[in-house]
Structure 1
Amino acid sequence: MLVNNNTQAMSTVQQIKRPDMDPANAAASALYSGALQTAQQNITVPVAQKELDKASDRIDEAFAKTRVQLQATAPNSDVPATSVAGSARSEFTDYMTKTPAERIRDQLLKERGLTLEQLNALPVEEQNAFAKAVSERLQQQQQQQVAAKTADPQAQTVKETLAAI
């Protein structure tokens, strides 16, 4: 038999006296209700939950900062855009306005460690060879795109459907 002399614990145990319960069930029920009440009083938020709350707060804070920065860089905003965001936006806009041939030219220049000015300073034969390399790479790229479309028409249809979604 368990004996608990703690008066606080004894006060939390509810005495359940039901005539339909035998003494053993009544005692077990009383102990269970007392243990349940004690457990409910002593429940604290686990450390992991606190850490998750902190992480969630940090995510919300980062989202808010990002939103403020995006609003500050809006084209019709009165607040001037930061130089980093402005330069990234202008680089992206410049890249998207280029033709595929210009993109390939820039890629080849970067691979060879040249600038456009240096390319223009080269002899005409080397400039022609460079232009031929750009042309060949552009044709390869186009052939790959055509091959990808004709290789599996069903897969292409699925891709187009997913892209439309």
Structure 2
Amino acid sequence: MAEQENAQAQDNTPKFALQRIYVKDASFESPASPVVFTKAWKPKMHVDLNTRSQPVGENTFEVTLTVTVTAKLEEDETAFLVEVQQAGLFVAEGIEGEQLRQLLGIACPNMLFPYVREAVDALTVKGGFPALALQPVNFEALYRQAKAQADEKAAASEATTH
């Protein structure tokens, strides 16, 4: 009887697992080549990050981390543009509400980031440009910032409807 109770208790414990990591989409453009290779390499880099999650089955979620890097030269000429959508399938059982949103918005992108970082670097180098090592990202801070903005927007919307 005690074994059966232990088995039931174990079944109720939250479970989180990574099932698969994969590149969902990748693109590289160098619209100014080959002329760009004859100019001094002092680009202005712009990095854009985006995360998205969606359910794909019972307790299974796809999380996609999209990184877009644009390198422009002084003349505002685009040297290259690279975009990678790194995705993963994650299982989250017994986790709901805010805890699930934090898992999908913080932990999952943290797991995906090293892979997207490597993919961006590889595409940049294969495009003939110097290696590009993306700086670490604090996904918790980004999540909290996005949540605060959403809360403010909801409060403002609620205030205008009353």
Judge same fold: TM > 0.5, yes or no. Answer: no
Structure of larger gyration radius: 1
Higher helix share: 1
Give the shorter-chain TM-score range. under 0.3
Higher strand share: 2
Task: Tell me the TM-score normalised to structure 1 length.
Answer: 0.24
Structure number with the bigger relative contact order (C-alpha 8 A, sep ≥ 6) is: 2
Task: Tell me the TM-score normalised to structure 2 length.
Answer: 0.25
